[in-house]
Amino acid sequence: MQRANRAVTFQELYARARLYMRYHVIISVLLLGAATGLFLLNINSFLRQSGVVVNGSSPPTRRSGADAPYKDESESRSLVKKLTRRAIAENAVPDRLLTVVILTRDRPWSLERLLVSLSAARYDQGVRVNLILRQDLPANGVLCQDTARIIRRLYWPHGSVDHAIEQAPRGPMRMWLGAYAPSGPTDYFLVLEDDMEVSRFYCRWVLAALDRFRLDSTVFAVSASKPELRGRDPLGLGPVQSSIPAGTTHVKYRMPTPDALAPVPRHWNAFRTWAVKMLDSDGFDPTLTEEVDVRDLRPFEIYREMRAIGRQELAWTAFLVRYTFEVGQSTVYPWTPTGASLARSWDEPDALTRHGRGPTSDLLAVWDPALVRWNPRAGVRLDYTGRPMSP
């Protein structure tokens, strides 16, 4: 009987020991689980603060203003990309460079429209476009503050911006001659007066056209505008469109233009040298010639009209016409089937034009690859009257 009691007592002790050990194991597992959870929570918090998002977790709710210490990974990466792009734009050597020179004075509404169109244009990868805004003074010598204010507010992420203010009134002739001095054969530039407006694709065509024609001794410049007026029209044919055959993509026209003009650098330097020399020559008149082809050209008529009132410096294109005639050079223009242009003039009132006529064409809205294929069969040569020349 006593042995049985002792046996029972031993079994009870054994059962109690097993139960005690089971409780300890459960408690140990719970403690280990809690410790693991705390460890993972701390690690996750550390990784979040380090800018790493753990798979399966979402960033905490973002707050705004000064009460928002958290920046998620996507925002951080976006900022890094923006800073990287800015550094590349400012410091890297671009594949292509075009300098756009804007001549302005006191037409702020015109300038703003031009800058909007330049900003909205499409610039291909690797292309950098530097702006030079040359602001002349009116005859009274007082700077147009509205124009200067628009330039100061300009945001231009495609290249550098330089605002050059003249110290005294210079006039169109001197402004054009001082617009830009290219330093090499591929130092391409485009000159825009402030009443111009450009298509989204102006830059693509100008660079392609200069590449194609810069070695052509018969091409003085390319122009992103559309040829419209005849140098003289003895037959009353009207705009040159009636003389351009279907399928034409580019026009080599003897009549130059100041509209959206991108001269071949070496030819521009030669013209500047010649023009300065002629201006310094007493009594030089660009319209005095016995050549029947040019003596009655409309730019020469305008020059004579301005000279009669002592304002011949306003009609500076007479010098351009005379020079390109003497050296036998033409200007290349784009031509589209729809008649749309890559640049257009609003022909707004200035010292020379008292009553503007507004634009006469739409801007090209859809790119046509044929414009830069330079198929010889798609080109046409026009004389000063705007009629086709024999090949």
Alpha helices in 155-250 (DSSP H): 171-177, 202-213
* 67 has a pLDDT exceeding 80: no
* 107 has a pLDDT exceeding 70: yes
Highest mean pLDDT among 36-40, 78-82, 118-122: 118-122
What's residue 64's pLDDT?
Answer: 35
Nearest to 346 by CA among 333, 336, 355, 334: 355
What's residue 358's pLDDT?
Answer: 81
CATH 3.40.50.720 applies to domain 88-382: no
Higher per-residue pLDDT: 4 or 258: 258
Rounded mean pLDDT, 349-354? 59
C-beta atoms surrounding 132 within 10 Å: 18
Separation CA 291–CA 282 (nearest Å) = 22
What's residue 290's pLDDT?
Answer: 86
Helix (H) or strand (E) holding 98: strand 96-104
Rounded mean pLDDT, 45-67? 40
| pLDDT tier at 375, thresholds 50, 70, 90 | very high
Dihedral, 150, 161, 158, 214 alpha carbons, nearest 10? 120
What's residue 369's pLDDT?
Answer: 97
What percentage of the chain reaches a pLDDT higher than 70? 75
138 token code pair: 């009116």
Nearest to 383 by CA among 188, 196, 240, 178: 240
Map out the domains of the chain as residue ranges.
88-382
Find tokens 């499409």 and name the residue.
122
Per the CB < 8 A criterion, the answer to whether 152 and 163 are in contact is yes
Nearest to 203 by CA among 89, 120, 88, 111: 120
Q: 178-213: buried (b, 16+ CB within 10 Å) or exposed (e) per residue?
A: bbbebeeeebbbbbbbbbbbbbbbbbbbbbbbbebb
The backbone torsions φ and ψ at residue 197, rounded to the nearest 5 degrees and listed phi first, read: -145, 140
Say if strands 261-263 and 219-223 run parallel, antiparallel, or are unpaired.
antiparallel
Q: What is residue 382's three-state secondary structure? A: strand
Nearest to 299 by CA among 214, 378, 384: 384
Say if strands 330-334 and 250-253 run parallel, antiparallel, or are unpaired.
antiparallel
* 241 has a pLDDT exceeding 70: yes
| pLDDT tier at 66, thresholds 50, 70, 90 | very low
pLDDT, tens only, 12-34 = 656 666 666 666 667 776 777 76
What's residue 318's pLDDT?
Answer: 96
| pLDDT tier at 191, thresholds 50, 70, 90 | very high
pLDDT, tens only, 150-172 = 999 999 999 999 999 999 999 99
Angle between helices 298-308 and 317-327 (to 10 degrees): 140
* 54 has a pLDDT exceeding 60: no
Find tokens 């550094």 and name the residue.
87
Q: What average pLDDT does the structure give for the chain?
A: 84
What's residue 62's pLDDT?
Answer: 35
Rounded mean pLDDT, 181-205? 98
The backbone torsions φ and ψ at residue 314, rounded to the nearest 5 degrees and listed phi first, read: -75, -25
* 3 has a pLDDT exceeding 60: no
| pLDDT tier at 75, thresholds 50, 70, 90 | very low
DSSP single-letter state for residue 313: G
Separation CA 280–CA 292 (nearest Å) = 27
Rounded mean pLDDT, 266-285? 94
- State the pTM of this model: 0.76
